[in-house]
Structure 1
Amino acid sequence: MLTPSAAPSRAPSYAAVLRTPHAARTFGAALLGRLSYGVVPLALLLALKDATGSYSMAGAAMALFGAASVFLSPARAALIDRHGPRRVLPPMAGLYAALLTVLALATWRPGAPPLVLGALAVSAGACTPPLGPVMRTLWSSLVPDPELLRRAYSLDGVAEELLYVTGPLLVGIVVAVTEPAAGVLAGAVLVLAGALALVSSPAVSRARVNTLPADASAAPRLQLRGITALRHAVLVTATVGFCLGALDLLVVASTDRLGEPAAVSWVLAALSAGSAVGGLAYGAVRWKSASRVRLPVAAAALAAALVVAGVSPRLYVLVGVAAVAGLFVAPALTTAYLIADESAGADRRTQAGAWVNTAFNAGASGGTAVVGLLVDRLPLALCFALAAAPALVCAAAVTRPGLISGRERAVQHPRV
């Protein structure tokens, strides 16, 4: 069911995506701002640790920062859908950058009250601008052709993966030269510059903006309960995030068990490299199957690779299995975002993408937390299997026959 189409190879290329009018400029601006999301978490964690002298305080503040950022993401996206990115992104990014700047100044030297730092972290997380969901919404208006849109989403996912690899490397350079707080300040500059460059793009002015009454109750709020395909995509994406959140900690434990603790970076690099290759290959192929079919298959394949990783007898086997697991990460996320785009109207696409993003991040946090409780109590192979179980169960559940109505199929198939 998942075989590539035998159609002639005249599919639009990734270069065709970037040659679309205003696409390269808009995408470049979004990536500039999103680089901040690769820089800020590590820089802020190090800055908080230096300022408080406590890993537990730094971890608690970062947990608050992450929770506020993740769980308020749909609400921030709803503001974008209601008022448009040009009106909402500049003040949101400006407030976020201002709070990061205050955090950078407060952590530049030790001695700041932990409660103040925690409050600032929560406030900054609550204002995180949804540059990723906004860019994916703009892709829908820039490249309405379904084949080209899939390539655009694949390119977007691979680029985002590389940003999360590049960001920590940049933080390492900053920390070697100056204080970690300087990395937080750099993140503030990046997100503000990227957001302002994004809203200045002609693609943003062409995007549809809702013109609804001022009454907040009239805002186009997205209800997952009424959109089966999107609800399933959110559930599957949460389990993909759970797998990856658990895998980070399990890789640390595995490399320790194999007597190669310093090799953890090689395993995670293999995972990222596999994801980049998988994402580019996924976008380059014409698929016959619908997105709703491809998503659970990708999630199940990722989970199966986790089970194999748990019984890897040698480091090189673990690295290889991590690379194989990575092959399914970007395709799974790309497909989930495609389903979000297919399922929601133009006035709610940013919210739909934000729900997928929220599900992934919440799942990743849950996976890390759950495995953290189990890894010292259960055999490592069993921990890997338990980390994979939610994705396998969810993938099986959402592919049951008759689960999606004929009307939903009619809406989804033309987009694939």
Structure 2
Amino acid sequence: MPASPSVRPSYAVVLRVPHARRTFAAALIGRSSYAIVPLSLMLAVTRSSGSYAVAGAVMALFGATTVFLSPARAAFVDRHGARRALVPMTAGHTVLLGLLAAAVSRPDAAPAPALGALAAAAGACVPPLGPTMRAVWTRLAPDRALLQRAYSLDGVAEELLFVSGPLLVGVLLGFAPPAAGIALGAVLMAGGTAGFLSSPALRAAPAGAGAVRRGGGGLRGLGRPVAAVAGVGLALGAVDLLVVAFAERHGHGTGGGAGVAWVLAALSAGSAVGGLLNGAVSWRTPAPARLTVLTAALGLTLCGAGLAPGLGTLAAAVAIAGFFVSPALTTAYLIADEVAGPQARVRAGAWINTAVNAGCTAGTAVAGTLAGRLAVGACFAATGAAVLATAVLVAGASRRDTPRKGAREDAREDARKGARKQDREDPVGKGTPERDASGLAPLG
């Protein structure tokens, strides 16, 4: 996939776009809540209820409404505009997080059904700051090369949030109960969203034209990137669990200890490096073809990871696999932006998010089943094979679209040949259609 020799805008140019730094920083502050609240909630419910089963059920409800209602919340933003949609969502989400923090601040403070209801309601109101910020990037950086760098920067920053968030929770637990992490997440979400919505970039944005129609109009062509990133999410969910199983089976104790943390950090580091490098290249290859190659490369790398003899080698293999993760997600977001109608861009980005998260959930579940029956190396190979199969399906769908495009080009060429033949037969122009500056008959 060679790079174009044209001038390449830098990441510094992205941040010098008017209002970009202020808007992006505020969005990141709000999005940091995504990385802090889930872990804090799990720890707080476990401590309050004394039951892992209750904690698992509460987290499942929170995660389900967060993930699977994401497209509906994004459609609300597309329909009504960011300011009118995000304010009530943020208000409801932060109030519910506050109630959750109060409910789990003391042992047996609330019954399990009440905690589950609060968690489900809080997840249902999570503001889609990530998809909304990417829609804003589309307006701030209309040039495709600049938008690619903006999306890459956004993806790497989000990756770092999910690395630093659990670390921040660990520091907070040194002097405060887990419920404080939930409260902190609510404060960050409220403050970040307020700063985001006060940005001139949002004030200049259209308020929503109510153009989101029933039937999902404006999202045609989104199936391929959604399928590809679902495969990427499956890989991420499986790797998280398989690394733990690998560490345990190689004598690193139950849970794998610090070794697991280093391997997963290598995955994030590889993803960050890959994302930055991908954004710095001006690609000539179309985004759908790049997405297929990146997904296939991830699958092949995971197949090889199963051959690792120890944690150090596995960390290196996982870092290489991570190198393809952020570029694949960034490329999927670019495709979603290209195929989405003007009033469906937030929803398109939300579908990419939903596919990744759903893939993660499925990957963890499947890996857990396989790890109890197969060697870890075979589990890595099976995961890689599933991702490769996804890449093949996406590539096949792209090829099926190519003949239709070629047929349109053939029709255009036939029209041009007919016009030239007619011009030779009727040189004085009698009976010929009006021509444009090129001398060819207009094609309608």
Q: TM tier, shorter chain?
A: over 0.9
Relative to structure 1, the CA distance from residue 224 to residue 46 in structure 2 (aligned partners, 3 Å threshold; closer, same or farther) is: farther
Between 256-265 and 35-44, the greater mean CA deviation after superposition: 256-265
Question: Which residue of structure 1 lines up, in the alignment, with residue 100 of structure 2?
Answer: 103
Distance 1:310 1:61 in 2: 33
1:258-337 pair list within 5 angstroms: 258-260=250-252, 261-262=256-257, 263-337=259-333
Q: CA deviation at 1:316?
A: 1.4
Corresponding position of 2:79: 82
Shift of 1:225: 10
| Mapped partners of 1:173, 1:4: distance in 2 | 43
258 and 170 in structure 1: CA distance in 2 versus 1, 3 angstrom threshold: same
Kindly provide the amino acid, as one letter, of the partner of residue 285 in structure 1: V
The Cα shift of 1:376 comes to 1.0
1:78/1:220 contact within 8 Å kept: no
Kindly report which structure 2 residues correspond to 1:4-403, keeping only aligned pairs within 5 A, or say none.
4-5=3-4, 7-8=5-6, 10-111=7-108, 112-212=110-210, 219-221=212-214, 223=216, 227-228=220-221, 230-260=222-252, 261-262=256-257, 263-400=259-396, 402-403=399-400
Q: What is the CA distance between 1:224 and its match in structure 2?
A: 8.1
Equivalent-residue separation in structure 2 for 1:225 and 1:352 (angstroms): 9
Alignment-mate amino acid for residue 138 of structure 1: V
d(CA) in 2 for partners of 1:81 and 1:278? 31
- AA matched with 1:159: A
2:178 aligned partner, one-letter code: P
* Aligned equivalents of 1:337, 1:304: Cα separation in 2: 23
Return the alpha-carbon distance in structure 2 between the equivalents of residues 209 and 405 of structure 1. 37
Deviation at 1:221, TM superposition (A): 4.8
What is the TM-score when the length of structure 1 is the normalising length?
0.93
Instruction: Answer yes or no: is the 8 Å Cα contact 1:133–1:353 preserved in 2.
Output: yes
Whole-angstrom CA distance in 2 between matches of 1:253 and 1:402: 39
After superposition, give the CA deviation of every residue in 1:248-292 in whole Å (9 maximum; x if it has no partner).
000001111222322000000000000000000000011110110
**Relative to 1, partners in 2 of residues 1:224 and 1:158: Cα closer, same or farther, differing over 3 Å?**
farther
In 1: Cα distance, 2:263 partner to 2:243 partner: 7
Give deviations 1:351-370, integer Å, cap 9, x for gaps. Answer: 00000000000000010011
CA contact (8 A) 1:225 1:231 kept: no
Distance 2:217 2:223 in 1: 5
Q: Separation in 2 of the partners of 1:189 and 1:170?
A: 15
Decide whether the 8 Å contact of 1:222 with 1:351 is kept in 2. Answer: no
Q: How far does residue 409 in structure 1 lie from its aligned partner after superposition?
A: 9.6
Secondary structure, counterpart of 2:309 in structure 1: coil
Cα deviations by residue, 1:68-105 (Å, 9 ceiling, x for unpaired): 00000000000000000011111101110110010000
SS of equivalent to 1:186: helix
Amino acid at match of 1:300: A
Give the number of equivalent residue pairs.
401
Partners of 1:93 and 1:129 within 8 A in 2: yes
Residue type of the alignment partner of 2:188: L
- How many angstroms does 1:293 deviate by? 0.5
Gap runs ≥5 in structure 2: 408-444
Tell me the CA shift for residue 407 of structure 1: 7.5
Q: Which amino acid aligns with 2:132?
A: V
Mark the runs of 5 or more structure 1 residues left unpaired by the alignment. 213-217, 411-416
Paired with 1:368 and 1:331, the residues of 2 have a C-alpha distance of 22
Cα deviation for residue 50 of structure 1 reads 0.6
How high is the TM-score relative to the length of structure 2?
A: 0.88
Question: 2:426 is matched with which residue?
Answer: none
For 1:123 and 1:405, locate their aligned partners in 2 and report how far apart those are by CA, in whole Å.
44
Alpha-carbon contact 2:40-2:169 (below 8 Å) kept: yes
Cα offset, 1:390, TM superposition: 2.3
Q: How far apart, CA to CA, are the structure 1 residues paired with 2:250 and 2:357?
A: 29
Q: How far does residue 139 in structure 1 lie from its aligned partner after superposition?
A: 0.2
Deviation by residue 1:11-57 (Cα, 9 ceiling, x = unmatched): 11000000000000000000000000010010000001011101111
Shift of 1:408: 7.3
Q: What letter is aligned with 2:384?
A: A
> Cα offset for 1:220?
3.2
RMSD over equivalenced CA pairs, Å: 1.7
Identity rate of aligned residues, in percent? 55
Instruction: Tell me how far 1:404 sits from its aligned partner.
Output: 2.2
Q: Aligned partner of 1:373: which letter?
A: T
Structure 2 vs 1, CA of residues 114 and 173 (structure 1 numbering), >3 Å: closer, same or farther? same
Q: CA deviation at 1:345?
A: 1.4
Q: 1:80 to 1:226 in 2, by over 3 A?
A: closer
